[in-house]
Amino acid sequence: MMNQILARNRTVKIKKIHRLLARTLLKSKRLYIFIALILIASLGVGWHYRAVTANTENKNDMLLSIYQDTLSTITILIIIVPFFLYLIEFVVEVFNKCNVLLKYRNLKEWWYDENISMLIFSVIFTFIINLVILIIILFIGKISIIDINMIKFLIVGFFLQIAGFLILSSIFNIVVLLVNHPFLGFPITYFIILPFSLIGYIFHNSRASMLALNEYMFLGYKENIIINIDDIFKILWLVLIYLIICLIGYFIVKDKDIYWKA
């Protein structure tokens, strides 16, 4: 009975910290600055397509162009990735606080909850990005391009982005564990992924571009919006990479034995 009560109390505690972090994110100035910047960048794309798509007949090509131009490599590197890292820095800071650490009985519980919080932040962040895409489509006045192919395309993109953001958050977490400072996690993580993104940008539509995580996350590799089994495998591939990196991070913190004695 005592074990059941403790388990129930732990569940309440974990749900509470996740809700608290989610509410804090939704009230964060960082988040609203990000929303403002990505909307400003996206409206430029919207104005362009309002002018040039009047005679466009292929709505699938139009959607792909809108999607890839809105989520261009420049936008990803200058706005999306920096702000995501800037936001999850808050999660790491919270979970490294002594009063939070003391609520956990062991490292596994702490590591699990921190990664669940990263997942929640990734879902919210991804939802905002895809909402911006829909706003731009409505702004252009091309509601007719919203069909089943588009819905499947956006759903696959949604899951690819969540998986990609989880990979970024895990890399960030490992960097912070190694350098023992959340502030340094931001620039180091950014400059780890930057070379691969630049290679993808310079050698777009070549095999070298597939080294870039953003090519997967934001469907830069697609030449049309038709979803096939390869796209599903890409989601599973990113999830597998995330789980491997997450496991590496767990063993790093376990070996460092910072918070709990074996």
The tens digit of pLDDT for each residue in 91-132 reads 888 887 777 777 777 788 888 889 999 999 999 999 999 999
pLDDT of residue 3: 42
For 45, residues 6+ apart whose C-beta sits below 8 A from its C-beta are: 66, 69, 70, 136
For 233, residues 6+ apart whose C-beta sits below 8 A from its C-beta are: none
pLDDT digits (tens, 9 = 90+) for 206-225: 554 456 788 889 988 888 88
pLDDT of residue 5: 30
Residue given tokens 């997942």 in the structure block: 119
For 9, residues 6+ apart whose C-beta sits below 8 A from its C-beta are: none
Residue given tokens 């999830």 in the structure block: 239
pLDDT of residue 261: 45
When the pLDDT of each residue in the chain is averaged and rounded to a whole number, the result is 81
Specify the pTM: 0.86
Q: How far apart are CA 65 and CA 183, in angstroms?
A: 36
pLDDT digits (tens, 9 = 90+) for 231-242: 999 999 999 999
